[in-house]
């Protein structure tokens, strides 16, 4: 006999975890937020922070995060002009979640070794 499907009694119709993970789930996204947590960085500095990332992927991540309101892009009036990226208030709100993931990662890493 098949079991009856129960009605979902979750207090929220849209899962907030899913909303947050949709933002953080992209490749390299947590890394970009992690490195910008230390303060504004130029594109070339972020590339040095994350050597395996391609310029195309870094550019795509920064554009997506800017569109989502996580990263702010500012043109610096230098010669030649340069661009700095920094976290917005929303971006800074994500840092504790990433730090929690890092702590779990360290615990998992120590269990293997």
For the chain, the domains span 26-112
Q: What is the pLDDT of residues 59-92, one digit of tens each?
A: 999 999 999 999 999 999 989 989 999 999 999 9
Q: Report the top-level CATH class of 26-112.
A: mainly alpha
CA atoms within 13 A on the CB side of 105: 6
Q: What is the DSSP string of 26-64?
A: STTHHHHHHHHTTS-EEHHHHHHHSTTS-HHHHHHHHHH
CA distance 97 to 35: 14
pTM above 0.85, yes or no: no
Residue 77: phi and psi, rounded to 5, are -75, 75
In the structure encoding, which two tokens stand for residue 111, read together? Answer: 């269990």
């Amino acid at each position: 006999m098949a079991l009856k499907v129960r009605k979902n009694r979750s207090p929220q119709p849209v899962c907030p975890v899913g909303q947050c993970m949709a933002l953080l789930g992209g490749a390299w996204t947590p890394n970009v937020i992690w490195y910008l947590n230390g303060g504004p960085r130029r594109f070339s500095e972020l590339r040095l922070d994350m050597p395996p990332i391609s310029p195309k992927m870094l550019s795509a991540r920064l554009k997506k995060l800017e569109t989502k309101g996580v990263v702010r892009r500012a043109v610096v009036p230098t010669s030649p002009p340069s661009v700095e990226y920094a976290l917005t208030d929303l971006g800074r709100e994500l840092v504790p979640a990433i730090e929690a993931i890092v702590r779990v990662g360290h615990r998992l890493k120590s269990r293997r070794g």
